[in-house]
């Protein structure tokens, strides 16, 4: 026979469960707008009858009654699958967003609708001036117009180049900033891991702390793609590029060094390795692996570095670059056990660029080969993309350099065939040959011409009479002065029709426009995917105030009903205790 007071105990357990449900419902409603909050639900089960032989008594005794309801736990309503999907898609979305921003800025630099900055307009104005010059090569006004339109054109090249370098520097700065943010988030996640692990030893789930950690993981996915898993202790481990960023209570950190410092460190390691090989007279397989790893790392940092394996197993390292004095330089960095130091100008991407930042997590360099998503990937690809398929700032600077180099070389080659006009400003000399240049050629080394240093030659800046227009020497002291000879001037003016300036510029602008369009289209698609997945997550994890309001009413009614059970049981016991055995009294 059940205990007389069992009904009260059953009612009490219902009151307790209803009270907890009401509290959790209130918690959900109050956090309906809290970022990262996960809806919570009370998990209950029926409490079985007490005592041994419960299963047997269930069959043989119909009077067996359970002991009410038990509260097992308060769980979060989350989908691990949707979390993983969201973070992967959000990582891709952020990558597209920041890449599109950078490319759109580049596209704005080539605004062909603005006559003041349009390269097409400035090139056209320059060749129009050459055409007018061909009409009268003796006109100082026509010559001055050629000089000034040439300056305006080179200034436009220089301006766009400078803006592109500034964008490159912005990406470089952003790479460092994002790396610092990732390291900071890793530290916070590791701290939460430790707190959650300690808290949950009591058997209670740290739901609010888990919400904070999940929110940090969502933020981290915006900076970089990663993988993660939760261990048996409730701690989340995170990996980027196969390297541990968070391992339980320990947080990793992304090291940030300059390219010069990283190259010097690697070269020192290689020179020490070379010294050991030379001393032993033989190289071991482990040393070969180490040598090849160092050489690979050096070439990842800078494409200007060359590594050569010698017959004795050692490796030599050199770097080729253009110095500030516009000369080609080759510096030896490692020769046997001798190690040099790389200069900052040697490892700069191009003139005006900041020193490139090198990121490393564990033993892995973080670059576009190892990182494939998030804001970090966008900045890395914009900073380093130098191919048509992975076009970043370096690619478009290279295309602009090609155009400036082509204009300088073709115009100068044509002008070298002509003669300057004798005047007081140039000592009344009419000269021809390689000294007769309209644009600076850095000692006839056109490979050194860039959009950044593209400029009018000093001779033409000093005197407009040094612009060659005649294909014969002009001698003002003879009857046949050749002053009306304009054959070279005509050739100069006709270059616009006989060269591919327009195709080169159109190709650059078209490629950039298509890249921006493709990036924007991908961004729109990824934004839709993120929104769709987030809506699915919210349908499970988010708080619906209307639904919770219904729950409030339900749990209130449950509470009232359980109270009524206790009241009824109390009345029965009162009758039993105070009314039994009082007949006749």
Alpha-carbon span 270 to 315, nearest angstrom: 8
pLDDT on residue 571: 85
Max distance between CA atoms of the chain, in angstroms, equals: 161
Residue 268 has pLDDT above 90, yes or no: yes
Question: How far apart, in whole angstroms, are the C-alpha atoms of residue 64 and residue 58?
Answer: 7
pLDDT value of position 510: 93
pLDDT of the residue at 405: 96
For residues 516-550, one letter each, b for 16 or more C-beta atoms within 10 angstroms of the residue's C-beta and e for the rest, the string is beebeebbeebeebbeebbeebeeebebeeeebee
Residue 472 has a pLDDT of: 87
State yes or no: pLDDT of 506 exceeds 70. yes
pTM score, two decimals? 0.89
pLDDT band at 61 (very low <50, low <70, confident <90, very high): low
CA distance 5 to 480: 134
Model confidence over 405-425: pLDDT tens digits?
A: 999 999 999 999 999 988 888
Confidence of residue 482 (pLDDT cuts 50, 70, 90): low
**How many H helices and E strands in the chain?**
15, 13
Work out the angle between the directed axes of helices 393-415 and 374-384 (0-180°, nearest 10): 10
| pLDDT of 59 over the 60 cut | no
For tokens 């308060």, the residue is: 74
Q: What is the per-residue pLDDT for 349?
A: 87
Instruction: Give me the percent of the chain exceeding a pLDDT of 70.
Output: 94
Q: What is the mean pLDDT of the chain?
A: 90
Evaluate the CA torsion angle 145, 150, 156, 162 in order and state its sign: negative
By C-alpha distance, which of 179, 102, 175 is closest to 391?
102
Find the mean pLDDT for residues 218-243.
95
Lowest mean pLDDT among 76-90, 108-122, 429-443: 108-122
**pLDDT value at position 479?**
60
Please tell me the predicted confidence (pLDDT) of residue 481: 62
Tokens of 512: 């950039």
Given this model, what pLDDT does residue 68 score?
87
- pLDDT number for residue 570: 82
The stretch 253-261 carries a mean pLDDT of 95
pLDDT over 60 (residue 298) = yes
**Mean pLDDT within 246-265:** 95
Instruction: State the average pLDDT over residues 346-353.
Output: 89
pLDDT in tens, 68-92: 898 888 888 999 999 999 999 999 9
Of 2-6, 215-219, 371-375, minimum mean pLDDT range = 2-6
The yes-or-no verdict on residue 583 having pLDDT over 90 is no
């Amino acid at each position: 026979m059940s205990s007389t007071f069992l009904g009260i105990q059953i009612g009490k357990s219902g009151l307790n469960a209803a009270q907890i449900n009401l509290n959790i419902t209130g918690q959900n409603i109050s956090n309906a707008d809290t970022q990262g909050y996960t809806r919570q639900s009370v998990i209950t089960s029926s409490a079985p009858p007490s005592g041994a032989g419960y299963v047997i008594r269930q069959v043989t005794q119909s009077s067996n009654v359970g002991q009410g309801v038990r509260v097992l736990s308060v769980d979060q309503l989350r989908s691990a699958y949707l979390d993983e999907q969201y973070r992967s898609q959000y990582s891709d979305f952020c990558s597209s967003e920041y890449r599109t921003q950078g490319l759109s800025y580049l596209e704005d630099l080539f605004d062909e609708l603005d006559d003041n900055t349009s390269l097409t307009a400035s090139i056209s104005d320059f060749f129009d001036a050459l055409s007018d010059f061909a009409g009268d090569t003796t006109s100082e006004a026509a010559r001055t117009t050629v000089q000034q339109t040439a300056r305006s054109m080179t200034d436009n090249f220089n301006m766009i180049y400078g803006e592109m370098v500034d964008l490159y520097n912005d990406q470089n700065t952003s790479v460092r900033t994002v790396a610092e943010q990732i390291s900071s988030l890793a530290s916070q996640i590791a701290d939460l891991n430790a707190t959650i692990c300690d808290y949950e030893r009591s058997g209670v789930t740290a739901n609010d702390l888990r919400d904070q950690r999940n929110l940090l993981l969502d933020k981290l996915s915006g900076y970089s793609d990663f993988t993660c898993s939760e261990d048996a202790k409730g701690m989340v481990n995170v990996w980027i590029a196969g390297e541990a960023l968070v391992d339980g209570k320990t947080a990793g950190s992304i090291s940030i060094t300059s390219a010069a410092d990283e190259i010097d460190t690697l070269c020192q390691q290689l020179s020490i390795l070379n010294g050991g090989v030379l001393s032993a007279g033989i190289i071991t397989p482990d040393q070969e692996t180490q040598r090849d790893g160092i050489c690979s790392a050096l070439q990842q940092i800078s494409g200007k570095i060359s590594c050569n394996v010698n017959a004795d197993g050692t490796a030599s390292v050199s770097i080729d670059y253009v110095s500030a004095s516009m000369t080609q330089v080759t510096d030896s960095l490692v020769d046997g056990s001798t190690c040099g130091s790389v200069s900052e100008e040697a490892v700069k991407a191009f003139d005006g660029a900041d020193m490139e930042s090198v990121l490393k997590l564990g033993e892995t360099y973080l670059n576009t080969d190892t990182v494939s998503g998030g804001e970090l990937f966008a900045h890395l690809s914009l900073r380093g993309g130098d191919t048509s398929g992975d076009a970043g700032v370096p690619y478009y600077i290279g295309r602009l350099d090609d155009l400036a180099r082509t204009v300088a070389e073709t115009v100068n080659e044509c002008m070298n065939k002509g003669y300057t006009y004798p005047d007081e400003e140039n000592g009344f000399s009419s000269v021809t040959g390689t000294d007769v240049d309209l644009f600076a050629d850095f000692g006839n080394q056109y490979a050194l011409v860039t959009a950044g240093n593209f400029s009018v030659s000093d001779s033409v800046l000093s005197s407009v009479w040094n612009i060659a227009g005649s294909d014969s020497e002009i001698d003002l002291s003879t009857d046949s002065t050749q002053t009306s000879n304009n054959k070279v001037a005509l050739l100069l003016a006709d270059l616009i029709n006989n060269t591919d300036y327009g195709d080169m510029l159109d190709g650059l602008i078209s490629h950039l426009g298509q890249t921006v369009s493709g990036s924007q289209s991908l961004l729109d698609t990824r934004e839709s995917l993120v929104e769709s997945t987030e809506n699915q997550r919210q349908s499970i994890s988010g708080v619906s105030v209307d639904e919770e309001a219904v729950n409030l009413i339900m749990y209130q009614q449950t509470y009232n009903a359980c109270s009524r059970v206790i009241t009824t049981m109390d009345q029965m016991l009162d009758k039993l205790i105070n009314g039994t055995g009082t007949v006749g009294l």
